[in-house]
Chains A and B, each alone.
Chain A
Amino acid sequence: MNIVEASGLGKRYGSTWALRDCTLAIPAGHVAALVGPNGAGKTTLLNLAVGLAAPTAGAVTVLGGRPAGSPAALDGIAFVAQDTPLYKNLSAADMLHLTRNLNRRFDQHYARARLAELGVPLKRKAGRLSGGQQAQLALTLALARRPRLLVLDEPVAMLDPIARHDFMASVLMAMADDGVSVLLSSHVLAELERVADYLILLSQGRVQLAGEVDDLLASHRMLTGPAAEVGQYARRPVVRLRRGEAQAHLLIRATLDDPIPPGWEAHPVGLEELALAYLREPGVAALPGPARSRYAEPSEVTK
């Protein structure tokens, strides 16, 4: 089952396309990270997936074919929006009660126990909680709905490093305990390396790269060799070339079995390095499965 499936999805605000021609299928059971620079369309894609925005073009379904925003879709998705909007004048206890009233399922015991464990005072108004506590409250409200997909928009952007770490640990624990799938957007790449096992790279309103992290890492290598010999890679799927005085660094799409020319060294790449290379080359795209690409053969990326 795909937790999110988009085909030809586009959203235009005025004359600007915030997202365009987006085709992807995110399978269930992952922590999928949506990565991209500011204005790449991350929030737009998430809003479309949770039904807060209506697409200008194409369609998006969630949880195995339910139209985004339909009652059945809303029922299975919990969304924590950017800056975790809460009613500032309601207490944490009131927020729990409110969320319970607005949903078919709500695990009040779990929510109270979780807030107690985190030391979030139930009587305090949401607006007077710390940023980390507000984020944890919003996450608790979302998790207590027992969703099958948890969507988080920039969940850690406003948090300090400790709160950030705790928040992500909570998400991972929920994933392990309840088998909830997670889709989160972030531009904090270092954080994602630890938690994400599926990556979607957005750039200028288009999907640039999408796939399981292990597959992506296995199909990319960093080659280091004499700068003079770069020419022989002209026809290889090079993602990014960094040329030094004597040496050149090439990020190419290649598996471990691909032969390495003499005089060159091959290294595996990390997620952050890979993401950065793609983000610096918005023209290069590599998409799995049904996605179309003008730049690359999909078969080269996924097996």
Chain B
Amino acid sequence: MTALTMASQSEEDTRLPPVPWRRMAWVIWRQHRSALTAVAVFLGALAVSLWRIGLQLHHAYAAAAACRPVLSPACDALQTSFSGMDILLANGYVLQAVPALIGAFAGAPVLARELETGTFRYVWAQGFGRCRWTLAKLVPLAVVVTVAAGALSVLLSWYYQPYLATRNQALFLPEDSPLTNLFVLRGIAFAAWTLTAFAIGALAGMLIRRVVPAIVATLAAYTGLAFAAALYLRQQYLPPLLSRNLFNPPASAWIIRQWWTKGGTTLSQTRMSQLMRQMFYRIMRGMHAVNDSHVKAQKGQANLEIFHYLTRHGYAQWTSYQPASRFWPFQWIEGGWLLTLSALLIVATLWLVRRRAA
């Protein structure tokens, strides 16, 4: 090779643009098609079964909700049949594992497999450049799993509608607050948690460099974060409302804390409940229950009487709660911080790839 050709080739090298991003499309598809197919099959199977159970559930709910009179034995049977359906999925706990599983099995191997098998020494030495390669892998895969999770959460929102309908309490049907346990399965939270799980997986893979330990670490980190959010963070997204003597708050409200005061002293809700229970049984002894529905109605009446008795004697009940109307603000807040966290995790992964090679 002469000096002349060397010089001209050198010039040509600096002039040419980098390898185009779109070339990674084939690379991603070829290397991750089995993982993506597995995710698609898993979510597809889940969607089909949710759809089938969901139809029955909606059917049972419609029958129970339309039944009149509410306290008749026939309606009671319909209510029981609705609330007895779908024990496994009713509270959504099982489905909350879905983002973690997608994140762990789709996110963790992306870098960990390359590092474990040594192929990073092949792929990072190619002309594409290792930071661009990492970005070109993580971002499209993250988008794909997030969109897939988002599509599933639309189905989940439909599935869980009966549990969240506002008149349920009056019909003696189960009614959950949209802010508590079904919160992460609906709206944008489900997709956001999936994205976060994926980003945790990618970072864990880069840090741990082994596929199986990275998957385990991802599941552990995700579980920790999910519990922290459910137990501590979510209730503080917005300052809770404080209400005085709000007897019988709507079932859709998320009650953070309740306590009683009289004069300058405070009584915890737990202690007051004990006292109220004692009084309740004293009142109930005089009543004769005809059937279950009557007991339900009488219980409500008795509780109200105790409550009024207490307020007349200078007691005040305080309730701090998050109203159901905050569902969407909470969804956006949760989606926002999860998106930010995911972006930070991916940036951290990129930084590690850039810095901690070989």
Contact = CB atoms under 8 A, between A and B. Distances in A.
B144 interface: no
B285 interface: no
B357 A64 contact: no
A295 interface: no
Interface stretch (A93-101, A108-116, A162-170, A210-218): A93-101
17 contacts: A28-B6, A52-B358, A54-B355, A64-B6, A72-B14, A74-B128, A75-B13, A78-B125, A85-B119, A85-B120, A85-B122, A86-B122, A87-B119, A87-B122, A88-B117, A97-B26, A102-B19
- Among all A-B residue pairs, the 4 with the closest Cβ atoms: A179-B1, A81-B121, A53-B358, A102-B126
A98 B19 CA distance: 13
A10 to B, nearest CB: 15
Of A78, A81, A101, A148, most B-chain CB atoms within 10 Å: A101
A102 B23 contact: yes
Interface residues of A, number: 40
A47 interface: yes
Interface in B103-124: 117-124
Contacts of B118: 81, 83, 85
B19 A81 contact: no
A295 B16 CA distance: 46
Interface in A52-107: 52-54, 63-64, 71-72, 74-79, 81-83, 85-88, 90, 94, 97-99, 101-105
Contacts of A54: 355, 357
Nearest to B25: A101
Given A50-B125, A74-B127, A179-B1, 7 more contacts: A1-B3, A51-B357, A71-B18, A85-B121, A90-B30, A103-B19, A104-B19
A64 B10 contact: yes
B280 to A, nearest CB: 67
A102 B27 contact: yes
Given A64-B10, A102-B19, A52 B124 contact: yes
Majority-rule SS of A interface residues = loop
Interface string A138-157: 10000001001000000000
Contacts of B18: 71, 104
Nearest to B19: A104
B9 interface: yes
A102 B30 CA distance: 13
Contacts of B13: 72, 75-76
A51 B16 CA distance: 20
Given A81-B118, A87-B31, A101-B27, A51 B128 contact: no
B329 interface: no
Nearest to A151: B125
Nearest to B26: A101
B23 A101 contact: yes
A74 B121 contact: no
A122 to B, nearest CB: 15
Contacts of A131: none
Contacts of A82: 121
A52 B118 CA distance: 12
Contacts of B27: 98, 101-102
Contacts of B24: 101
A103 B1 contact: no
Nearest to A94: B30
Nearest to A63: B10
Contacts of A86: 119, 122
A60 to B, nearest CB: 13
B307 interface: no
Given A75-B127, A94-B30, A102-B123, A29 B1 contact: yes
Contact of A52 (B9, B121, B127): B121
Contact of B16 (A74, A85, A104): A104
Given A85-B119, A98-B27, A77 B125 contact: yes
B133 interface: yes
A101 B137 CA distance: 13
Given A28-B1, A104-B19, A148-B9, A81 B125 contact: yes
Contacts of B117: 85, 88
Interface in B340-358: 355, 357-358
Interface in B1-38: 1, 3, 6, 9-10, 13-14, 16, 18-19, 23-24, 26-27, 30-31
B125 A103 contact: no
A302 to B, nearest CB: 22
